[in-house]
Structure 1
Amino acid sequence: MKPFNLFFLGLVFLVSCSKENQTQDNHIFSEGPVVVRGQILNAESKTVQLENLELTGRVKNVVKLDSLGNFEISINILSPHDNFLIHNGQMLTIFTEPNDTIIISADGRNFKKTISFSGSNAIFNKSLKLFFEEFLEQLETNEFFIKKRDLSPSEFKVFAYDFFELMETKIDSIIKITQPQENAIEWMRNYVKYRLAEDLIEYGNHHKENLTPDYYDFENDYLLTGEFELQCSQYYEDFINKYYLGYKLSQVDGFKEMATNYREQTYDGLKSSFEFIDKNISIPIVKNLSITRFCNMYVEKDYLIVDSIFNTFTTYVHDITCQNFILKRLDNKKNKIALVDNLEELSNTDFIGEIFQKIRNENHGKVLYIDVWGTWCGGCLSAFPTSNKLYKELDRNKIEFIYLCVNSTKENWQEIVNEYELKGKNYLLTQDQSAMLSEKFNFHGVPRYIIIDKNGKIIDYNAKHPYSSALKVELQELAEI
């Protein structure tokens, strides 16, 4: 897959309702607080993470367990949606609605298998747990991923439809066991529906040269039609992302230029993406979610640009929920800066101290460009060739590149480091280290770039992307000061 496509597949474009889709607003948009609390016995990690798959953007929340394994996460959400609950690398999908209090208990030695629910939406989440256990078993039994790799397009399409029809029958069995409420039933059915779409699209991305003209004939089957579809946020947004932005828009004239401009991290680059999407997407939901997500990604990159462009953003996205989401993300950035100032403080921080002690000791007097990435992040991987090129052009006696891989397995990390021949110093962080790094630098997604000057002072917590033409000059100037 070409790098610029990977960049966009790495972004997650989440869904919002347009003014032309107001029939669901009373149900979908009902802002309110959520509390997730509980106890993890025999914890094998010292943190718990709740990643909100909010309709207008993802936000990660990290808390420490106390000495007894207790924790509590309090958040505010804009709508009912999926979340990832993560402990020691094990990830479980749970569902939350505004005003929920969800209580869990689990054994950390087998977090996903032993978790139980009480409080709000307990039956809903019990149903999802059973559903995913059955789903994973059927994926393995039917050799789904092997066939996804080896079958021809027409063969895989038939196989995929048959497989997800089988999963529909499994849902019927789960309903008999748990007797969940209507929205839980519809959530599982929509998961099957949109996961099928994602697998078909992903197959198409990897087998482009063999596709028949009618391969993507399923578009109209997946446009928003029902009351509960937006609640299955993970795979509805994946369908929008991979079909519209990964497939359809990538064929439009000007797409590659727009992608390049966007990655420059400038006001004009962000505004040009608004204009391109507005011109080339006519479906209001898709247009809203795309522009909102582009804007949200820039909050992480440079919130000052988003602050300055917000009024322009509202001329393209009229939906109040989307606007409020961006405003809240901006407020969070303005009111909560990074919690560390220099390498010395990082060297004395829980979990990550040892790594930063080593970084400090091995790179005395050098400017450090830190790249925080994950093996699953398309945007991270697509930047590596540019990063390698930049590294070769800089004075290695004065400037060092540090790669911190988060939330990834050792096998995947080593494979990517070797495949992309990453120059500089490479480190794999544990789940606890990844969580602490995110907390200290106040970021919720990757890639993330940080610059530390030769005196060990952190001078940019959200540095320019390797694609930026200004980055090379900035690093060189810092090295000569």
Structure 2
Amino acid sequence: MKNYYLITFFIILFSCSNKEKEEEIVSSGVFYPKVESRSVITGKISNIKNFSNKSKTIRLIVDDITIDKQVKYITTINENGKFLFDIPLSHSTKSFLVYSDGRIAPYIFPNDTLMINCEIIKRESLIGIKATSYDEKHKKFQNNFKKHDNWFYTEVDKFKKNLEKEQSPNNLKIEFLDFEKLLHKKIDSRIKDKQSNKIIYDYLKYSATYSCYENIIKLGRKIEDQKEKKTFYSFLTDSITFNQNALITSEYMYFLNFYSNFVEPRSTISIISTGKSDEQIKKELIAQKIENKLKLRPGIWGDYSVASNIRNTVIEREEEFTASSIDYYLELVKKNIKDNYTRQLLLAMLKKEKLSIIERDNINIPSGSEFQNTSKDLTSNLYDEILQKNKGKVIYMDFWATWCNPCIKQFPYSKKLHSKFESKDVSFVFLCCKSKKEAAENIIKTYQLKGQQYILNQKQYEYFEKQFEIVGFPSYILIDKQGEVYSKNASRPQSENTSITIEKLLNKK
């Protein structure tokens, strides 16, 4: 992979048109959660003073199979260009150190400290970062890793580019399996001293296998006949075992994710609900779901699967939970999760979630920001109602969903934007889509989000989707003081351009 990436990387990274794997942003200086196995990166950007008007933060992105997600840590760069990351890490892996539009990919280890010197580079209008040197302990390894990693992905990209895609899934599968064998031969030839370069050698070998397997699973998704699909995947289902050593490559994590979602058989859950409260039924369902996962995937893979499920259900707020519900999860984790790192991580996350629920329950929605009462039959009339209510004002519309992390990550910036224009003729209208009202209210309370709040039913959403050509969340619309749509693709609250554009519309005659 190259050290320099176009800005489209970030557009893809922060788009949320579907419920895809999201990144968790950890506030600067707070490297949550606290666990025993950690990794430290200290660095310095030598020419930071030449870019004084640029960002003073830097990101570290790490794939963590323990909770089946990419975790993004953010820290500040001080006036001398120094920065520090101190993060939980259970196994060595490639990471991404991201500044502005570019990134580098150091390989990091648990219970280790990596020192890295960097400099900012500029190409045309884009700002990037490159590593200039590593500390003596890691210098040789990091340079070798970069060289071999770049070679590997060049080989994969070249193969995919030359692949004749107008073939049947079975023929393409054969091509990928043949390519896997070829890659292994090339790796064996490339790495002469396998003992001294064991980590890099294993990394390349596992990457070769699981990147091919991941692509084969994607191919199988196109097969509609279930019997044919089962045969197509049989080479996996006959031999799949969890390989903890393969965690050194992200390709293995992605493979497991695809395998779990598209190949592995679904387990059924059944409980007797007669005479039981909703809370009791919910607890029994949770317990059985965890039990089934541990049976289906014994050992550490089961622990990871349970951790992922709890993260999706509780932390990602797919359901609403009370503090007592979190207590029940805490007990289940203590009882069922055997892997120490995974248990520590989950307990820390759940305790943090419990505290946030308690804090949220003790605050109210900001005055005037309660959900607006609208008729369920309102569709186009709702838009007319919004225009009429805000006649003569600039309207900044925010279409969001409770399960969309990129939407929610913008809310602190929305608050700042609202404060800036609070005394001016600007209305902030938040339209929550495809979400439950209770979940939306809790988020509004948590972020103390001021503005006009609406929760759309399906008909209303479909109207706005067509009216403004909405393709995903978050989506932002700007309407001028005359009630005319200025932009169907307005910039996010975080962008300086948003404030500039609103000012421009306010001054428009």
Asked if residue 66 in structure 1 is aligned to residue 114 in structure 2, the reply is no
Ranked by relative contact order (alpha carbons within 8 Å, sequence separation 6 or more), the top structure is: 1
1:224 to 236, 242, 264: 242
Q: Which position in structure 1 is the counterpart of 2:215?
A: 199
Distance 1:351 1:217, change over 3 A: same
Q: Which position in structure 2 is the counterpart of 1:150?
A: 166
1:278 to 274, 288, 291: 291
Structure 2 CA distance, aligned partners of 1:165 and 1:183? Answer: 20
Structure 2 CA distance, aligned partners of 1:361 and 1:135? Answer: 55
Q: Which position in structure 1 is the counterpart of 2:109?
A: 97
Consecutive unaligned residues of structure 1, counting only runs of 5 or more, are 1-5, 13-28, 258-265, 373-386, 402-415, 435-481
Consecutive unaligned residues of structure 2, counting only runs of 5 or more, are 1-16, 24-34, 123-127, 272-278, 370-408, 436-453, 478-488, 497-509
| Contact kept in structure 1, 2:37 and 2:88, CA below 8 Å | yes
Residue type at the aligned position of 1:295: I
Q: Deviations over 1:331-375 (max 9, x none)?
A: 44567889xx989xx999889956985799786375664999xxx
Distance 1:163 1:32, change over 3 A: same
| Contact kept in structure 2, 1:34 and 1:100, CA below 8 Å | yes
1:168 to 175, 178, 184: 184
Distance 1:237 1:365, change over 3 A: closer
| Contact kept in structure 2, 1:95 and 1:121, CA below 8 Å | no
Which structure features the higher share of helix residues?
1
Asked if residue 329 in structure 1 is aligned to residue 392 in structure 2, the reply is no
Residue type at the aligned position of 2:285: S
Asked if residue 320 in structure 1 is aligned to residue 340 in structure 2, the reply is yes
Distance 1:334 1:30, change over 3 A: closer
Greater Rg over alpha carbons, structure: 2
Q: Structure 2 length normalisation: TM-score?
A: 0.56
Distance 1:108 1:85, change over 3 A: same
Q: Deviations over 1:387-418 (max 9, x none)?
A: 99636459x9xxx99xxxxxxxxxxxxxx965
1:129 to 142, 146, 159: 146
Q: Deviations over 1:56-80 (max 9, x none)?
A: 1253210122345432212243343
Q: Deviations over 1:116-164 (max 9, x none)?
A: 433554444333322332233223433x167385332122112212333
2:457 to 373, 376, 390: 390
Residue type at the aligned position of 1:165: K
Structure 2 CA distance, aligned partners of 1:68 and 1:271? Answer: 55
Asked if residue 85 in structure 1 is aligned to residue 97 in structure 2, the reply is yes
Residue type at the aligned position of 2:296: S
Offset at 1:311?
A: 0.5
Structure 1 CA distance, aligned partners of 2:305 and 2:342? Answer: 11
Structure 1 CA distance, aligned partners of 2:142 and 2:424? Answer: 47
| Contact kept in structure 1, 2:91 and 2:110, CA below 8 Å | yes
Asked if residue 247 in structure 1 is aligned to residue 260 in structure 2, the reply is no
| Contact kept in structure 2, 1:39 and 1:106, CA below 8 Å | yes
Distance 1:348 1:102, change over 3 A: same
Structure 1 CA distance, aligned partners of 2:296 and 2:246? Answer: 20
Offset at 1:299?
A: 2.6
CA RMSD of superposed structures (Å): 4.9
Distance 1:91 1:109, change over 3 A: same
Asked if residue 287 in structure 1 is aligned to residue 297 in structure 2, the reply is no
Asked if residue 50 in structure 1 is aligned to residue 50 in structure 2, the reply is no
Distance 1:203 1:67, change over 3 A: farther
Distance 1:329 1:71, change over 3 A: same
Offset at 1:182?
A: 1.8
Q: Deviations over 1:235-289 (max 9, x none)?
A: 2222222112333245x5569x9xxxxxxxx996686355235336522143221
| Contact kept in structure 2, 1:240 and 1:286, CA below 8 Å | no
Q: Deviations over 1:169-214 (max 9, x none)?
A: 4534653599954223212211222222211112222444595542
Offset at 1:310?
A: 1.2
| Contact kept in structure 2, 1:93 and 1:128, CA below 8 Å | no
Structure 2 CA distance, aligned partners of 1:417 and 1:359? Answer: 29
Distance 1:33 1:189, change over 3 A: same
1:139 to 153, 156, 165: 156
| Contact kept in structure 1, 2:173 and 2:219, CA below 8 Å | no
| Contact kept in structure 1, 2:433 and 2:455, CA below 8 Å | no
Offset at 1:100?
A: 1.5
